[in-house]
């Protein structure tokens, strides 16, 4: 049975009851039903493509360039901790993250493992950890908040 590590103070946007442990490598690709279930915990992330392969993606917007850079630097700590390296795009106050597992597999009809790329537990775990980090930035007021349109 897998052990889980509690996440301190999960917020409603991620609704995380736990953080899944690091999966083994190579990791099995998630089935569509597993992915759908896990994405409920990080509903701000979406299924996208990285080349021809499925990936998880999320864009963040910050109030200032320096907050976007700090977020990327803090993300690097998480990324190195999990040894799982997504595509990160920094464009002024915007940060885009796209993640998929390059060392993954799916099972063939005879039960053998076929090497593949796509979304695994590593990607969902990374999305959960990055989303928690972003929530810390939101709590400090570092995220972008559009100015309300004035009614004249």
List strand residue ranges (DSSP E) for 52-107, in order.
53-61, 87-91, 94-99, 101-107
Task: Name the band, by pLDDT with cuts 50, 70 and 90, for residue 14.
Answer: very low
pTM for the model stands at 0.81
- Residues across the chain: 152
**pLDDT tops 90 at residue 8:** no
As a whole number of angstroms, the distance between CA 117 and CA 46 comes to: 17
pLDDT in tens, 26-40: 899 999 888 888 888
Task: Name the band, by pLDDT with cuts 50, 70 and 90, for residue 13.
Answer: very low
CA gyration radius, the chain:
17
pLDDT mean over 51-69: 95
């Amino acid at each position: 049975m897998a052990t889980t590590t509690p996440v301190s103070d999960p917020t409603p946007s991620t609704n995380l009851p736990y953080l899944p442990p690091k999966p083994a490598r190579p990791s099995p690709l998630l089935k569509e039903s597993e992915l759908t279930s896990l994405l409920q915990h990080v509903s701000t992330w979406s299924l996208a493509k990285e080349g021809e392969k499925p990936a998880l993606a999320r864009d963040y917007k910050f109030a200032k360039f320096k907050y976007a850079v700090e977020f990327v630097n803090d993300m690097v700590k998480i990324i190195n901790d999990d040894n799982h390296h997504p595509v990160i795009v920094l464009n002024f106050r915007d940060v885009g993250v796209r993640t998929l597992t390059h060392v993954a597999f799916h099972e063939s009809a005879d039960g053998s493992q076929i090497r593949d790329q796509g979304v695994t537990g590593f990607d969902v775990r990374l999305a959960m950890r990055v989303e928690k980090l972003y929530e810390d930035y939101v709590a400090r007021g570092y995220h972008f908040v559009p100015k309300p349109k004035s009614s004249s």
